[in-house]
Amino acid sequence: MSLYKHILVAIDLSDEADEVLEKAKSLAEKNHARLTMVHVVEPLSVAYGSDIPLDLTTLQDEITEQARERIARLADSIQLKKGEQHVVYGRPEREVHRIAEESDVDLIVVGSHGRHGLALILGSTSTSILHGANCDVLAVRVGRNDG
């Protein structure tokens, strides 16, 4: 019997994204589970001390398009169909939870950089995903030095 039926892997665009994706793919294969991938493009915000309005639309669109291209390459590397890859706009924890609930996901896989100090106190994306999820969450430890 399979432990999971639908796995959602939340990918950032860091160098460690491949590691997280491989772990999710392996879990999906072992459980004969469907695999869906999501990347959330966060809204740009600029603290600017003047009355000059800044239009960040073009920059935001460019960032989103680059994210779509990178996600498509990652998906191709594991033969993931177009319908199973999502690039969405918003707050990562909210969007990951929304997609997980709408898609009846029973496991979310997310990378964790193992932050310490202030970053640990303030929280991280993986911590936010963990605390609001209605299903299991696996935080894959990435970027560690084993030597």
The answer to whether 97 touches 132, Cβ cutoff 8 Å, is yes
Question: In the chain, where are the structural domains located?
Answer: 6-141
What is the phi/psi pair of residue 52, to 5°?
Answer: -80, 115
For position 119, what pLDDT does the model report?
Answer: 45
CA–CA separation, 30 vs 27, rounded Å?
5
Mean pLDDT of each 10-residue bin along the chain, 147 residues long: 91 88 96 96 70 72 92 92 92 94 96 57 71 91 64
Sign of CA dihedral 78, 82, 88, 92: negative
For position 102, what pLDDT does the model report?
Answer: 96
Topology of the domain comprising 6-141: Rossmann fold (3.40.50)
Can you read off the two tokens belonging to residue 67? 């994210």
The secondary structure element, H or E, covering residue 130 is: helix 125-132
Left (φ > 0), alpha (ψ -120 to 50) or beta: where does 123 sit?
Answer: left
CA–CA separation, 54 vs 2, rounded Å?
51
The answer to whether 125 touches 95, Cβ cutoff 8 Å, is no
Pairing of strands 6-10, 107-112: parallel
Can you read off the two tokens belonging to residue 86? 């999502």
DSSP 102: H
